[in-house]
Amino acid sequence: MERWKKEYDRIVVPEKGREKMEEAIMRAKESRKREKRIRIIRRLGGAAAVFAILMILPNTSRTAAAAMQQIPVLGDFFRVITIREYQVDEERYQADVKVPEVIPEDTGEVPKETVQQAKETTDAINFDIQKVTDELVEEFKNTMEEYEGGYGDIVVDSAVLTDDEKWFSLELILYQGAGSGYERHRHYTIDKTTGRQAVLSDFFGEDYVNIISEAVKEQMRRRMAEDESLTYWIDYEEVPEWNFESIAEDQDFYVNKDGKVAVCFNEYEVAPGYMGCVEFIIEQ
Amino acid sequence: MRGVDKETLVHECLVNHYEKYYRIAYSYTFQEQDAMDIVQEGAYRAILKSDSLKNPEYADTWICRIMMNEAVRFLEKYRGRTVTMEEMPEEGREDERADLDLRRALSKLDAQEREIVVLRYFEEEKLTDIAKVMGLKVNTVKSRLYRAVEKLKRYMEPAENYSVLKRTENTGAGR
């Protein structure tokens, strides 16, 4: 056996094989990238199949979108259209950006002043959406121009999370990838009875920061105790400064289908990156 | 996001251990061009499937296996072209005879035995690692290894029998 081992070790390794291997790796990475992008879009396609259809159609055909959106739904007050698209499909850079806009509909069922209020609310929301997506696209364009040999992709998409008699919640999904990816969400919730954008103090009163922060900590501890594969930055003695202390005053949240408040954190905010975006349902 | 990390890991592993993967491929074909093709194809597959790597610790052994599968596929595709002794390259090298000997010995083994022998004796991987990536029990790997050595023993000169047998036993007991 030693003799064969010696012969084996004597095998001469040609360096040009290394280059060929690198080429093969690059080819494989390219085709994975393409595959991954499709997967992300599919994953971001919305919580329910209905939303996926609503979201895909507006981008394939404007007329189909219009037709879809005219179907009356109970409590149908807001509709979401894609106002702007930005697509790049190059070897190294890919962008799939669909900027949504929320529009209140005056169906006659809703009092005039509520419609007027809703109009102001959606203007502010649309402005915010526009701003964050513009920043992302701008950054992407700059990278593309500056680093010819780099890689990057961005995806902007949206999903209606709740649309019932009282609540309308929209999720804006922002994905940015270059080597490794970073996904963040922003949520906008409108109270249909008032036409105003919901804020956390509506649900938990003036002391909402403390109430929610404590509830989040308690849930982090409980989840970690129940499932040891989960990690949140809490009671983490190695790096105490990572520990979650308190939510922000303008902490991101939405109202889910059960009418409950879901507080949202982006990747890395309160947990290691592999945990992704995390949510906590806070009982009132 | 985890998938991207694995891809990077596999990429690094391929670059760092290129020579090892080449040797493995070569030990199947004994042909420079073919071995390079196998490594190329194996690397492509490893990156493409990097998500299916379950345990990052075993990335290297996992890639070894991919290379071996690729080599077997390659040989099956070109059966007769590379396997027959008559078609050995003409250019006579000093160590051609040695090459031939290793090649003859390995050709006595079936695919799985060959995999285990190469990983264990030539690449000096741990039995537990081999077992893990092959999805076998450590004891199964041990017994296959023993069977492979038995086969090789029959092929070898009688004088060497003793030392190989002893080494296997030591390995078996030690791990």
Of B63, B96, B129, the position where a domain reaches its end is B96
Query: Do the domain assignments include residue B23?
Result: yes
User: How many domains would you assign to chain B?
Assistant: 2
Query: Are residues B82 and B3 both part of a single domain?
Result: yes
Burial grade of B112 (CB within 10 A; 0-12, 13-18, 19 or more): middle
CB contact under 8 A, B5 and A180: yes
Between residues A69 and B144, the one the model is more confident about? B144
CB contact under 8 A, B164 and A28: no
Query: Do the domain assignments include residue B103?
Result: no
**Which of B12, B17, B39 is most worth mutating to test chain A (most A CB atoms within 10 A of its CB)?**
B39
**Which of A12, A16, A21 is most worth mutating to test chain B (most B CB atoms within 10 A of its CB)?**
A21
> How many residue pairs from chains A and B have C-beta atoms closer than 8 A?
106
In DSSP terms, which residues pair with A262 in a beta bridge? A254, A281
Query: Are residues B3 and B89 both part of a single domain?
Result: yes
CATH assignment at residue B1: 1.10.1740.10
CATH assignment at residue B141: 1.10.10
Q: Identify the pLDDT of residue A124.
A: 94
Residue intervals of chain A classified under CATH 3.30.565.40 are 15-198
Of B62, B96, B130, the position where a domain reaches its end is B96
Compare CB distances from B164 to A1, A22, A28 and report the shortest one's residue. Answer: A1
CB contact under 8 A, A36 and B3: yes
Residues of B in contact with A180 (CB under 8 A): 1, 4-5, 8
Per the structure, the complete domain to which residue B74 belongs is given by 1-96
Query: Are residues B90 and B115 both part of a single domain?
Result: no
- Token duo for residue B158: 């009688």
Per-residue pLDDT of chain A (284 residues; tens, 9 = 90+): 777 888 888 888 888 889 889 888 888 887 777 666 555 544 443 333 333 333 444 444 444 444 444 433 335 788 888 888 888 887 778 888 999 999 998 777 788 888 899 999 999 999 999 999 998 898 888 878 777 667 788 899 999 999 988 899 999 999 887 655 678 899 999 999 899 999 999 999 999 999 999 999 999 999 988 887 788 888 877 667 678 889 999 999 999 999 999 999 987 788 877 777 899 999 98
Compare CB distances from B23 to A8, A18, A182 and report the shortest one's residue. Answer: A8
Query: Are residues B36 and B116 both part of a single domain?
Result: no
Query: Are residues B20 and B69 both part of a single domain?
Result: yes
CB contact under 8 A, B43 and A28: yes
Residues of B in contact with A27 (CB under 8 A): 44
**Which of A7, A19, A20 is most worth mutating to test chain B (most B CB atoms within 10 A of its CB)?**
A7
Residues of B in contact with A28 (CB under 8 A): 43-48
Compare CB distances from A13 to B7, B19, B106 and report the shortest one's residue. Answer: B19
Question: Residues A24, A37, A171, CA angle at the centre, nearest 5°?
Answer: 160
Task: Give Cβ neighbours of residue B53 (< 8 Å, ≥ 6 apart).
Answer: B6, B9, B10, B59, B62
Query: Do the domain assignments include residue B4?
Result: yes
Query: Are residues B12 and B81 both part of a single domain?
Result: yes
CB contact under 8 A, A180 and B152: no
A176 min Cα distance to partner chain B (Å): 11
Distance CA(B170)–CA(B161), nearest Å, equals: 15
Query: Are residues B62 and B145 both part of a single domain?
Result: no
What is this structure's pTM?
Answer: 0.48
Residues of B in contact with A182 (CB under 8 A): 1
CB contact under 8 A, B47 and A25: yes
Distance CA(B66)–CA(B39), nearest Å, equals: 9
Q: Identify the pLDDT of residue B85.
A: 45
Query: Do the domain assignments include residue B102?
Result: no
Query: Are residues B7 and B46 both part of a single domain?
Result: yes
Neighbour tally for A27: CB within 10 Å = 15
Query: Are residues B7 and B57 both part of a single domain?
Result: yes
Task: Give Cβ neighbours of residue B12 (< 8 Å, ≥ 6 apart).
Answer: none
Q: Identify the pLDDT of residue B58.
A: 84
CATH T-level assignment (fold) for domain A15-198: Heat Shock Protein 90 (3.30.565)
Query: Are residues B42 and B77 both part of a single domain?
Result: yes
Residue intervals of chain A classified under CATH 3.90.640.20 are 199-284
Residues of B in contact with A181 (CB under 8 A): 1, 4
SS (H, E, C) chain A: CHHHHHHHHCCCCCCHHHHHHHHHHHHHHHHHHHHHHHHHHHHHCCCCHHHHHHHHHHHHCHHHHHHHHCCCCCCCCEEEEEEEEEEEECCCEEEEEEEEEEEECCCCCCCHHHHHHHHHHHHHHHHHHHHHHHHHHHHHHHHHHHCCCCCEEEEEEEEEEEECCCEEEEEEEEEEEECEEEEEEEEEEEECCCCEECCHHHHHCCCHHHHHHHHHHHHHHHHHHHCCCCCCCCCCCCCHHHCCCCCCCCCCEEECCCCCEEEEECCCCCCCHHHCCEEEEECC
CB contact under 8 A, A21 and B18: yes
ipTM, two decimals: 0.70
Q: What average pLDDT does range B111-139 have in this prediction?
A: 87
CATH 3.30.300.30 applies to domain A199-284: no
Query: Do the domain assignments include residue B101?
Result: no
